[in-house]
């Protein structure tokens, strides 16, 4: 059977091409069972015509869309503009998992997948091939011809990730994707996150299936995956994009020990501040860790703990960054502005804390109320979501707010967002502060595009890596 995946990556700020682990896993499982897969990567500007042509030329049996909530509008538009698609049309990923109403809403969509899709999609494809009914496949919701919906329950989270093949990197233009991010290859060793931040989708995803949500592949399976990638592609760094790399205190030291023996490639991780200290940072550094990205999100301790569900002191955060610096590891902080109930004074604490920890680089995004999260429910209850703005074509997620709040207006949030990096670095490095002021300005994206040939130099100047 022929399955055409459609991964939408429209109007995402930053410019790097991206790769979707979920789709790469689905494709790997299908290929393992003898099916043929291809990818349509909808990148940059929304344009449905190339997709129409791909469908007409290849004539897939199944068209399989994957898209996060901010991409839902493009998935919906594409399916409706192409309807009737001459193939079974299914949509999976975080969005349909957390907002199943899309099945009813999208004209021309036949099914959605709730939660993990490897075996649900395989069963669907094989049932279609064999002419069997597709109505009772776990994790799938099916729309019948009369518009009625069959809501199947979910199966448990897949227990042993080692049973799954390596992701199908060849489905994507993987070399091009690595090149677009400074020759860095992205990996995912663990599914899920043990924490419960109220703005993140993890707590909403966890309850969709029974069983253990946070699962890691074995160290040997991960090393085999890395071996496969570095022998097939030209990469200079590896980014282990797990939500919290050092969460499992047994797994990561075992991984580092073996990694260090075999590879000399620098790697980057994401983690939580409370999992870092001098000993851990020294261990990570010895294994080749060159950069740690740590979520600060908000610098106001009480607000962070009570509203965001991140119970960690500012001292703990400061210690984490200092420990990285002492170990010789570069740091990057993740920050958000425009939370519900946030005020300019609370946000000032985010600036202050960043200025104190002085990360080598930082990222700021404007808060977006992702469906199913606790904070989205708060925003709905307060009536602060401006749906008209959110659905406007010009709206780019994480660079603008969808909230209309009395205590932190849109104009104040946008100003805070644009000036954040400048305000953090102005007393530390004026050159860096100024460069980042331009990057986060209205013209930042355009300038970034103009300066593409000098990206590496700019990165060195602002981040030191
Ligand atoms: C790795 C990652 C990235 C990577 C890779 C991109 C990607 N889309 O996965 C990068 C860094 C590029 C990225 C970017 C963004 N991300 Co991101 N990312 C993640 C992260 C940490 C892990 C996702 C992952 O790989 N999981 C493991 C795989 C195996 O699971 P999966 O992708 O869910 O796929 C499984 C099922 O969903 C299902 N499935 C998926 N697609 C399909 C399709 C079909 C047909 C079927 C049947 C099943 C199916 O089967 C898959 C295999 O079991 C999650 C956090 C999390 N814990 O989920 C956030 C997350 C997915 N990201 C999120 C967001 C918002 C973004 C951005 C919009 C941020 C931005 N820059 O503005 C962009 C969007 C880019 C894009 N076009 O998708 C949100 C999405 C929230 C939501 N409600 O949709 C999450 C949940 C984090 C959060 N804040 O809560 N991200
Ligand atoms: S630690 Fe990060 S990935 Fe985990 S729940 Fe919080 S924000 Fe989400």
CA distances to 56, 300, 310, 324 from 314, in Å: 56, 8, 11, 16
Q: Which atom of ligand 2 sits closest to the CA of residue 193?
A: 4
Record the tokens describing residue 396, joined without a space: 């780019």
pLDDT under 50 in the chain at which residues? none
* Within-domain flag for 159: no
Q: Please indicate, yes or no, whether residues 257 and 112 belong to a single structural domain of this protein.
A: no
**Domain shared by 186 and 128, yes or no:** no
Q: What is the pTM of this model?
A: 0.95
DSSP 8-class letter at 327: H
Helix (H, G, I), strand (E, B) or coil at 403: strand
Quick check: is 412 in a domain? yes
- Cβ of 93 below 6 Å from ligand 1: yes
Which of 5, 8, 20 for a ligand 1 pocket mutation test, highest count of atoms within 8 Å of Cβ? 20
Whether 104 maps to a domain, the answer reads yes
- The domain that holds 354 is classified in CATH as 3.80.30.20
Q: Is the CB of 192 under 6 A from ligand 2?
A: no
Ligand with minimal distance to 217 CA:
1
Last residue of a domain, one of 128, 151, 174: 151
- Contact of 420 with 351, CB cutoff 8 Å: yes
Spacing of C-alpha 225 from chain mean position: 20
Examine residue 167 and state whether it is found in any structural domain, yes or no. Answer: no
Q: Is 226 exposed, middle or buried (0-12, 13-18, 19+ CB in 10 A)?
A: buried
pLDDT of residue 462: 62
Note whether residue 228 is domain-resident: yes
Between the CA of residue 386 and those of 328, 373, 375, 400, what are the distances in Å?
A: 45, 17, 15, 12
| Pair 426, 316 in one domain | yes
Dihedral sign for Cα atoms in the order 356, 359, 360, 362: negative
Beta strand segments in 104-209, E? 111-113, 140-143, 149-151, 184-187, 190-191
Distance 309 CA to ligand 2 centre (A): 10
Q: Is the CB–ligand 2 distance for residue 298 below 6 Å?
A: no
pLDDT value of position 189: 98
CA–CA gap between residue 91 and residue 105 (Å, rounded): 12
- CA–centroid distance, 61 to ligand 1, in Å, is 25
Ligand nearest to the CA of 293: 2
Taking the C-alpha atoms of residue 416 and residue 9, their distance in angstroms, rounded to an integer, is: 26
| 247 and 129 within one domain | no
57 shares its domain with 101? yes
Determine which residue's CA is closest to atom 12 belonging to ligand 1: 18
* Residues 243, 145 within the same domain: no
Q: What is the pLDDT of residue 16?
A: 76
Cα dist from 327 to 200, 257, 312, whole Å: 30, 17, 22
Ligand 2 pocket, residue 195 CB under 6 Å = yes
Domain membership flag for residue 177? no
Q: Write the DSSP assignment of 416-464 as a string of letters.
A: HHHHHHHHHHTTT-HHHHHHHHHHTSTTHHHHHHHTGGGHHHHHHHHH-
Instruction: State whether 257 and 373 are in the same domain.
Output: yes
Shared domain for 17 and 133, answered yes or no, is: yes
Is cis: bond before 132, omega within 30 of 0?
no
Is residue 158 a part of any domain in this protein?
Answer: no
User: DSSP assignment of 140-174, as one string?
Assistant: EEEE-TTS-EEEPPPPPPPS-GGGSPPP-GGGTTH
Structure tokens at 82: 């192409």
Residues 253, 328 within the same domain:
yes
Torsion of CA 217, 218, 221, 222, to 10 degrees: 70
What is the pLDDT at residue 62?
98
| Ligand 1 neighbour 125 (Cβ under 6 A) | no
> Is residue 162, in this structure, part of any structural domain at all?
no
- Nearest alpha carbon to residue 109 among 73, 85, 127: 85
Give the span between the Cα atoms of 229 and 22, in whole angstroms: 17
25 contacts 171 by C-beta, under 8 angstroms: no
**C-beta of 95 in contact with ligand 1 (< 6 A):** yes
Ligand 2 pocket check for 330: Cβ under 6 Å: no
Q: What is the pLDDT of residue 307?
A: 98
Range of the domain at 87: 2-151
Q: Which residue's alpha carbon is nearest to atom 6 within ligand 2?
A: 197
Among 151, 170, 190, residue at a domain's last position? 151
For the Cβ of 398 lying below 6 angstroms from any atom of ligand 1, the answer is yes
The structure tokens listed for 369 are 């109320």
147 in the same domain as 186: no
- Split into its structural domains, the chain has a count of 2
Q: Using an 8 Å Cβ cutoff, are 98 and 204 in contact?
A: yes
> Do residues 358 and 317 both lie within one domain?
yes
- Cα–Cα distance between 41 and 380 in angstroms, integer? 33
Query: Nearest ligand to the C-alpha of residue 373?
Result: 1
CATH number at residue 97: 3.40.50.280
Please say whether the beta carbons of 161 and 221 come within 8 A: yes
Burial class (CB in 10 A: 0-12, 13-18, 19+), 126: middle
The CA 98 to ligand 1 mean position distance, Å, reads 12
Per-residue pLDDT of 139-185, as tens digits, reads: 999 999 999 999 999 999 999 999 999 999 999 999 999 998 899 99
Q: Which residues contact 116 (CB under 8 A, 6 or more apart)?
A: 139, 155, 157, 158, 209
Measured over all CA atoms, what is the biggest interatomic distance in the chain, rounded to whole angstroms? 68
Beta strands 184-187; 237-240: pairing state:
parallel
Note whether 224 and 332 are same-domain residues.
Answer: yes
pLDDT of residue 435: 87
CB-ligand 1 contact for 66 (6 Å cutoff) = yes
Ligand 1 lined by 98 (C-beta under 6 Å): yes
Question: Ligand 2 centre from 432 Cα, in Å?
Answer: 28
Q: Which atom of ligand 2 is nearest to the CA of 201?
A: 8
CA distance 382 to 372: 16
């Amino acid at each position: 059977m022929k399955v055409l995946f459609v991964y939408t990556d429209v109007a995402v700020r930053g410019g790097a091409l991206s790769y979707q682990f979920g789709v790469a896993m689905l494709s790997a499982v299908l290929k393992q069972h003898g099916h043929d897969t291809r990818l349509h990567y909808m990148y940059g500007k929304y344009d449905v015509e190339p997709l129409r042509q791909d469908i007409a030329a290849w004539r897939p049996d199944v068209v399989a869309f994957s898209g996060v909530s901010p991409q839902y509008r493009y998935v919906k538009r594409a399916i409706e503009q192409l309807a009737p698609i001459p193939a079974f049309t299914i949509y999976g990923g975080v969005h349909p998992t957390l907002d199943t109403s899309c099945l009813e809403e999208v004209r021309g969509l036949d099914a959605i997948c709730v939660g993990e899709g490897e075996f649900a999609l395989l069963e669907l494809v094989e049932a279609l091939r064999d002419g069997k009914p597709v109505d009772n496949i776990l994790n799938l919701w099916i729309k019948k011809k009369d518009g009625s919906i069959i809501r199947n329950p979910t199966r448990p989270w897949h227990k042993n990730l080692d049973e799954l093949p390596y992701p199908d990197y060849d489905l994507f233009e993987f070399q091009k994707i690595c090149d677009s991010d400074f020759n860095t290859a992205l990996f995912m060793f663990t599914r899920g996150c043990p924490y419960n931040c109220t703005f993140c989708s993890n707590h909403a995803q966890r309850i969709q299936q029974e069983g253990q949500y946070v699962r890691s592949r074995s160290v040997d399976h991960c090393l085999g995956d890395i071996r496969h990638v570095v022998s097939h592609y030209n990469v200079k760094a590896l980014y282990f994009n797990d939500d919290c790399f050092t969460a499992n205190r047994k797994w990561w030291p075992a991984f580092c020990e073996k990694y260090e023996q075999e590879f000399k490639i620098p790697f980057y991780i994401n983690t939580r501040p409370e999992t870092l200290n001098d000993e851990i940072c020294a261990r990570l550094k010895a294994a080749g860790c060159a950069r740690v990205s740590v979520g600060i999100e908000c610098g106001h301790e009480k607000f962070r703990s009570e509203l965001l569900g991140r119970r960690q002191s500012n001292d703990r955060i400061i210690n984490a960054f200092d420990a990285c610096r002492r170990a010789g590891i570069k740091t990057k902080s993740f920050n958000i502005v425009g939370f519900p109930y946030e005020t300019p004074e609370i946000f000032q604490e985010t600036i202050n804390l960043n200025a104190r920890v002085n990360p080598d680089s930082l990222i700021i995004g404007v808060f977006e109320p992702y469906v199913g999260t606790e904070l989205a429910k708060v925003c709905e209850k307060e009536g602060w979501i401006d749906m008209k703005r959110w659905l406007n074509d010009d709206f780019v997620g994480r660079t603008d707010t969808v909230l209309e709040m009395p205590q932190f207006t849109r104009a104040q949030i946008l100003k805070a967002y644009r000036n954040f990096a400048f305000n953090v670095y102005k007393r530390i490095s004026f050159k860096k502060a100024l460069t980042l002021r331009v990057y986060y300005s209205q013209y930042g994206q355009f300038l970034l595009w103009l300066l593409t040939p000098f990206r590496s130099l700019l990165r060195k100047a602002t981040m030191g890596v």
